Amino acid sequence: MTPEQLSTAIVDVLTTLSDEGALALPDGVPTNVTVERPRQKGHGDYATNVAMQLAKKAHTNPRALAELIATGLKGVDGVADVEIAGPGFLNITVEAGAQGVLAAEIVAAGAGYGHTNTLKGQRINVEFISANPTGPLHLGHTRWAVLGDAIGRVLSAAGAEVTREFYINDRGVQMNHFADSLIASATGQPKPEDGYAGAYIDELAAAVAAAAPGIFDLPEDERRTAVRAKGYELQLKEQQDQLAFFNTHFDVWFSELSLHDSGDGSGGVPDTLKRLKDLGHVYEEGGALWMRTTDFGDDKDRVLIKSDGELTYFASDTAYYLNKRARGFDRCLYLLGADHHGYVGRLKAMASCVGDDPAQTLDVLIGQLVKILRDGAELKLSKRAGTIVTLHELAEEIGVDALRYSLARYPADSPLTLDVAEITKASNDNPVYYVQYAHARTCRMLANAADLGMVLPTGDDFDPSQLSHQRDGELLRALAEFPRVVASSAELREPHRIARYLEDTASTFNKWYDTKECRMLPQGDDAVTSANLARMVLVVATQTVIRNGLGMLGVTAPERM
């Protein structure tokens, strides 16, 4: 009996009471009732506060209503006992057998356990990182790499059709500054103003020279174009390789420049500008072209074409949004750093200008910035000054799994401070190892079981009522939570809930493991009992949940450590 089934059973009881006239609910019977694991032992296996929530509407008092529900619920198959406590809580105890069958269900579902259809039918575009291709990815991108990737995985698990997208800012003056910096490095000139510095520029300049011999000897006008193209190509490739190493994958690498190439009626910036004009949301002033975003709540209007004729980033952003919508996405997720939160207002206003309801089509997640301390002092990151802690360095120093996990276990809106010394030194204390260890432990136990000739029972060979110890029940109820955790994680776009859940579940498993009465393997020459076999199913179920959960965070589930 899962919490979902219990919730349904309570709704059925309420419906019956309502039909019989024992209960009058003006707004009808709720379709969903909250069932949760109580924090306190002694409050049953599950608890619900439904009586307190409905009492006022039904013009009765909570305890009287609780009595009615309890009586009905006691007749439900699988429910062992119902108690009324405090102001009107219903504390429910479930029969061991009814609870134990879940273990076999999880094993049968395998890699699909935890997946739901709560977001079925939604086509979601998740855009994240979207860095300039003018340098390596750094600490500032690392959090988004982890969260964006995990959100993509979690949304998929909730049934959505997800496309993960990286928007390449390959257009704009920064690309010329990039080229000029490479040229300056190769020719021994001082770094240009507004240029990029750092060892990576020198290395990249050498790589450009190696890949295209003679490129720096071209005439000046050709040279810049050629170096820009080659440097871009190599730098983008490096970003892609490093993200692949970091286990972060994209479905689409979208070039900003491609939005400007078109102009043939297939979308892109020219068509976007025309459409905005037709909709009457643009005007000229001071030689510039503006979008009237203040009509939709923005603080000020925004420039699309500057008075010098150059297009702004915002013009590209608008065309890009329309491009996504034209590709059929119902929702566009943007993951932005806190330093871009001023963008939210104009993005939403822009969506309104083109006739969308941003509450339906746009989701902007603002994440707070990660600070990094070394020797107690904050490292200021600046690509142009060349002081960079790169994603790749971090990943190699701490390990991909540990770095991903330690970023994934915090919500995006909590500011994070990482101390370099601490995360490297304390890596053995990282909760990721605790969770991975629990998984490795299940693997060793099952290998031992195989050595003893134990075979995972199926059908009638599996006796769920053997899982009757208090610890069995605690573990089963923890495993039963997984689909709900995934669903809420997807709905709220908060993958850290999965990490916290896994830590809790791993802890429950370890406690179970240390309980003498719950041994899976027979001791000494003892024969294999049906209880041993039933617990074997429970171990496989636990392993399945941990593996699936870690997978949603892009973290591996090792068999040995």
Partner RNA sequence: GCGGCUGUAGCUCAGCUGGAUAGAGCAUCUGACUACGGAUCAGAAGGUCUGGGGUUCGAAUCCCUACAGCCGCGCCA
445 binds RNA (CB under 7 A): yes
Q: Out of 519, 547, 551, 556, which residue is the one contacting RNA (CB under 7 A)? A: 519
Distances (CA, A) of 104 to 131, 137, 209, 468: 46, 44, 61, 15
Q: Out of 246, 250, 254, 433, which residue is the one contacting RNA (CB under 7 A)? A: 433
Q: Out of 222, 285, 295, 461, which residue is the one contacting RNA (CB under 7 A)? A: 285
CA distance 136 to 376: 25
Q: Shortest Cβ distance from residue 501 to RNA (Å)?
A: 9
Which residues, 6+ apart, have CB-to-CB distance to 61 below 8 Å?
55, 88
> Bridge-partner residues for 303, per DSSP?
290
DSSP structure class, residue 391: H
Stretch that binds RNA, among 42-50, 145-153, 159-167, 386-394 (CB under 7 A): 42-50
Q: Out of 21, 213, 375, 560, which residue is the one contacting RNA (CB under 7 A)? A: 560
414 binds RNA (CB under 7 A): yes
CA distance 147 to 407: 8
Site string for RNA, 529-548 (x = CB under 7 A): --------------------
86 binds RNA (CB under 7 A): yes
494 binds RNA (CB under 7 A): yes
Complex with RNA: residue 277 or 300, whichever CB lies closer: 300
- Angle (CA) 50 53 58, round 5°: 100
CA distance 105 to 407: 32
85 binds RNA (CB under 7 A): yes
Q: Which residue has the tokens 């009471």?
A: 17
Q: Are strands 362-367 and 370-374 parallel, antiparallel or unpaired?
A: unpaired
Stretch that binds RNA, among 156-164, 231-239, 391-399, 410-418 (CB under 7 A): 410-418
25 binds RNA (CB under 7 A): no
Positions in 310-329 near RNA (CB under 7 A): 310, 312-313
476 binds RNA (CB under 7 A): no
CA distance 463 to 503: 28
DSSP structure class, residue 387: B
Q: Out of 220, 221, 308, 460, which residue is the one contacting RNA (CB under 7 A)? A: 308
CA distance 239 to 234: 9
Positions in 242-281 near RNA (CB under 7 A): none
429 binds RNA (CB under 7 A): yes
Complex with RNA: residue 266 or 424, whichever CB lies closer: 424
Which residues, 6+ apart, have CB-to-CB distance to 167 below 8 Å?
127, 130, 254, 256, 320
CA atoms within 13 A on the CB side of 536: 23
241 binds RNA (CB under 7 A): no
434 binds RNA (CB under 7 A): yes
Of 338, 332, 339, 336, the closest CA to residue 358 belongs to 332
CA distance 180 to 163: 35
Positions in 51-80 near RNA (CB under 7 A): 52-53
Site string for RNA, 361-400 (x = CB under 7 A): -----x-xx-------------------------------
Q: Out of 288, 354, 400, 456, which residue is the one contacting RNA (CB under 7 A)? A: 288
Q: Out of 513, 533, 540, 546, which residue is the one contacting RNA (CB under 7 A)? A: 513
Q: Out of 187, 417, 470, 530, which residue is the one contacting RNA (CB under 7 A)? A: 417
Stretch that binds RNA, among 23-31, 227-235, 240-248, 297-305 (CB under 7 A): 297-305
Q: Shortest Cβ distance from residue 338 to RNA (Å)?
A: 4
Token pair belonging to 188: 């021994």
420 binds RNA (CB under 7 A): no
Complex with RNA: residue 163 or 298, whichever CB lies closer: 298
Positions in 148-177 near RNA (CB under 7 A): 169, 172-174
User: Dihedral sign, CA of 7, 11, 12, 13?
Assistant: positive
Q: Out of 279, 342, 359, 396, which residue is the one contacting RNA (CB under 7 A)? A: 342
What is the arrangement of strands in the sheet containing 79-85, beginning at the earlier edge strand? 46-48, 89-94, 79-85
Identity of the amino acid at 309? G
Complex with RNA: residue 31 or 523, whichever CB lies closer: 523
Q: Out of 8, 262, 488, 556, which residue is the one contacting RNA (CB under 7 A)? A: 488
Rounded to a whole number of angstroms, the distance between the first and last alpha carbons of the chain is 35
89 binds RNA (CB under 7 A): yes
DSSP structure class, residue 190: P
132 binds RNA (CB under 7 A): yes
CA distance 454 to 268: 63
Token pair belonging to 344: 């939210």
Complex with RNA: residue 189 or 417, whichever CB lies closer: 417
